[in-house]
Amino acid sequence: MSAPNKSYDPVEVEALKPEEIERRRDEALAAFAAAADLDALREAKAAHMGDRSPLALANREIGALPPQAKAEAGKRVGMARGAVNKALAARQAELEAERDARVLVEEAVDVTLPHDRIPAGARHPLTTLCERIEDVFVAMGYEVAEGPEVEAEWFNFDALNFEPDHPARAMQDTFFVEGRQGKDESGIVLRTHTSPVQVRSMLDREPPVYVVCPGRVYRTDELDATHTPVFHQVELLAIDEGLTMADLKGTIEHMVRSLFGEGLTTRLRPNYFPFTEPSAELDMECYVCRGESVGNPERPCRTCSSEGWIELGGCGMVNPRVLIAAGIDPEKYSGFAFGFGIERMLMFRHNVEDMRDMVEGDVRFTRPFGMEI
């Protein structure tokens, strides 16, 4: 083993010269002081304190020195590295404090701001009620069918067996879009009911037909607490072999019980519609008092005006003339239809007293009904 090289002087090793170490130390201190943020400091740290930085390399040179030279060189490099480490830690703490102060300002949350700047919308109760009704029938195998609101007079009236001079065609009920051009031409109207969808559904399908037709309808009424010129109806149509009024009554009773409560009954009162024969008005038992308010002034019922019954809508067996107009053989098939107004149902179902609230679009009316999806 060769003896240590006694003449080896660390001051002769370039990287270990005191001026060189001081220079490297000062470079590092300057770089840390110049680092404007934590990212820049991280880079400066890699350059001046990393494994391949000049001071780290100098440190490694010490190992090659003769023992008597190691102590002095080690002390010199150690002190320089110590100073650099200290400066790094100080600058790190300084920049972290700066960042924390900035984040506190930039990400401050003003808990006094109103929390609901963009309020959630609310579905209109007419829409949700319509969908509930549709669901009742879809569950029984019915299909949802729709038709145009701007409708041919033929579908709205002629095919439904309205005589040409039927009073419902007169200007006070019907919005005419285009008058009849020739004797055999159809005019165009805003549909006054959803019954034209009956005819369209029968023409589009082969029997049996089971459809539920919700939609907007128009009549030349003034807007007041109980009338609106634009309102909604749901139409029901079933065409099959052997259908009777009993099927009609059972079907509607099922709807009434699904929407208003178990055990409720319905009753039919004779009426006239050109497109059904026989025709009836359908009433449901009052779901609030169940008849107990009748003749009982102590317990009046606002929902049915103490009548015990609530009028729902018109119904009947589809007139054979309508079946023929829609291309269906009345010898083989019979059917029933039912049509009722949704605004009216919403009124007695939720004690809405003024129909205008339903058309004005104020969410303060809509919101209490809840957000049914």
Contact between 48 and 40 (Cβ < 8 Å): no
Tell me if 260 contacts ligand PHE by CB under 6 A: no
Q: Give me the least distance between CB of 336 and ligand PHE, in Å please.
A: 8
Contact between 284 and 254 (Cβ < 8 Å): no
Residue 359 CA to its chain's centroid (Å): 20
Q: Identify which of residues 215 and 339 has a Cβ nearer to ligand PHE in the complex.
A: 339
Joined together, the tokens standing for residue 145 give 């069918």
Q: Map residue 210 onto helix, strand or coil.
A: strand
Number of residues that bind ligand PHE (CB under 6 A): 12
Contacts of 72 (CB under 8 A, 6+ apart): 10
Q: Please list the residues that pair with 318 across neighbouring strands.
A: 276
Tell me if 276 contacts ligand PHE by CB under 6 A: yes
Q: Give me the least distance between CB of 238 and ligand PHE, in Å please.
A: 11
Q: Identify which of residues 55 and 315 has a Cβ nearer to ligand PHE in the complex.
A: 315
Stretch that binds ligand PHE, among 171-179, 244-252, 257-265, 331-339 (CB under 6 A): 331-339
What Rg do the C-alpha atoms of the chain give, in angstroms?
44
Tell me if 228 contacts ligand PHE by CB under 6 A: no
Q: Identify which of residues 235 and 285 has a Cβ nearer to ligand PHE in the complex.
A: 235
Q: Identify which of residues 60 and 269 has a Cβ nearer to ligand PHE in the complex.
A: 269
Give dist(CA 353, CA 346) in Å, integer: 10
Contacts of 243 (CB under 8 A, 6+ apart): 317, 333, 334, 335, 336
Tell me if 218 contacts ligand PHE by CB under 6 A: no
Query: Is residue 262 marked as binding?
Result: no
Q: Please list the residues that pair with 190 across neighbouring strands.
A: 150
Q: Give me the least distance between CB of 266 and ligand PHE, in Å please.
A: 15
Peptide bond into 208 cis (omega under 30): yes
Tell me if 174 contacts ligand PHE by CB under 6 A: no
Q: Which of residues 291-330 bind ligand PHE (CB under 6 A)?
A: 313-316
Q: Give me the least distance between CB of 116 and ligand PHE, in Å please.
A: 41
Q: Map residue 354 onto helix, strand or coil.
A: coil
Q: Give me the least distance between CB of 257 and ligand PHE, in Å please.
A: 20
Q: At what angle do helices 54-62 and 18-34 cross, to 10 degrees?
A: 150
Joined together, the tokens standing for residue 331 give 């010898």
Question: Which residue minimizes CB distance to ligand PHE?
Answer: 339
Q: Give me the least distance between CB of 214 and ligand PHE, in Å please.
A: 13
Give dist(CA 300, CA 277) in Å, integer: 36
Q: Identify which of residues 231 and 365 has a Cβ nearer to ligand PHE in the complex.
A: 231
Contact between 291 and 300 (Cβ < 8 Å): no
Tell me if 202 contacts ligand PHE by CB under 6 A: no
Q: Give me the least distance between CB of 219 and ligand PHE, in Å please.
A: 9
Tell me if 273 contacts ligand PHE by CB under 6 A: yes
Q: Identify which of residues 17 and 166 has a Cβ nearer to ligand PHE in the complex.
A: 166
Residue in this structure with the two tokens 């090793």, named with its chain if needed: 13
Q: How many CA atoms lie within 13 A of 292 on its CB side?
A: 6
Q: Identify which of residues 143 and 311 has a Cβ nearer to ligand PHE in the complex.
A: 311
Site string for ligand PHE, 333-352 (x = CB under 6 A): ----xxx-------------
Joined together, the tokens standing for residue 350 give 């939720």
Q: How many CA atoms lie within 13 A of 348 on its CB side?
A: 25
Q: Identify which of residues 53 and 195 has a Cβ nearer to ligand PHE in the complex.
A: 195
Count of beta carbons in the 10 Å neighbourhood of residue 32: 23
Contact between 146 and 215 (Cβ < 8 Å): yes
Which position among 128, 174, 195, 334 is part of the footprint of ligand PHE (CB under 6 A)?
A: 195
Q: Give me the least distance between CB of 119 and ligand PHE, in Å please.
A: 37
Would you tell me which residues interact with ligand PHE (CB under 6 A)? 193, 195, 235, 273, 276, 313-316, 337-339
Q: Which residues are annotated as a binding site for Mg(2+)?
A: 277
